[in-house]
């Protein structure tokens, strides 16, 4: 494992020779690098050196790299509940395979099919072998969550935006 810490003095000599594990590169998976107070030029250099790295800054850095499908925000006011569900890579036009069902007790179940995360992508008559696969793998999924209380489920109103966010509003019972 490489040394991580403050700079060593120029006179430092390790006590024993370093033995490299030839499989170490294979064993290491995705990692997050935290670089406090670096310039944007240095940060760009770090990302470009990693070849398949992903750079997150600002509010994007507060999340995580990887499948973000199914993240849910729930809000309420005096009369209704409101929710947002992150569904990137889910086709909005798949009416036969996408559904959002709500029970009177406030249980919400979303089912669908993701279309991203594949190993090979064919786009504009070109074939791309993906070097990184941080999106949700393709296939069927379901997401179930509970609203804080009972609802008038027949009055549910929802919209699945082009931004991959499903928003729903339903009156309290």
Q: pLDDT tens-digit profile of 144-173?
A: 999 999 999 999 999 999 889 999 999 999
pTM: 0.63
Q: Please compute Rg for the chain using Cα positions.
A: 23
Read off the pLDDT of residues 59-112 as tens digits, 9 standing for 90 and up: 455 555 555 788 899 999 999 999 999 998 887 776 678 899 999 999 999 988
> What CATH number does the domain located at 72-171 have?
2.60.40.790
Taking CA 139 as the corner, what is the angle to CA 135 and CA 141, rounded to the nearest 5 degrees? Answer: 90
The domain limits of the chain are: 24-62, 72-171
Contact 134, 64 (CB under 8 A): no
Q: What is the DSSP string of 121-162?
A: EEETTEEEE-S---SPPSEEEEEEEE-SS-B-GGG-EEEE-T
64/35 Cα distance (integer angstroms): 16
Q: What are phi and psi of 163, to 5 degrees?
A: -80, 0
């Amino acid at each position: 494992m490489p040394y991580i810490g403050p700079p060593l003095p120029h006179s430092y000599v390790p006590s024993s020779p370093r033995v490299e594990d030839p499989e170490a590169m294979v064993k290491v998976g995705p990692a997050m690098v935290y670089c406090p107070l670096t310039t944007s030029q240095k940060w760009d250099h770090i990302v470009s050196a990693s070849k398949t790295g992903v750079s997150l800054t600002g509010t994007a850095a507060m999340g995580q790299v990887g499948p973000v499908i199914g993240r849910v925000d729930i809000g309420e006011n005096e009369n209704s509940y409101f929710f947002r569900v992150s569904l990137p890579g889910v086709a909005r036009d798949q009416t036969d395979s996408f559904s959002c069902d709500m029970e009177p007790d406030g249980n919400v179940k979303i089912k669908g099919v993701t279309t991203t995360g594949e190993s090979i992508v064919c786009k504009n008559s070109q074939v791309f072998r993906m070097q990184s696969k941080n999106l949700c793998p393709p296939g069927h999924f379901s997401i179930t969550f509970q609203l804080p209380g009972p609802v008038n489920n027949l009055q549910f109103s929802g919209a699945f935006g082009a931004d991959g966010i499903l928003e729903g509003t339903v009156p309290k019972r």
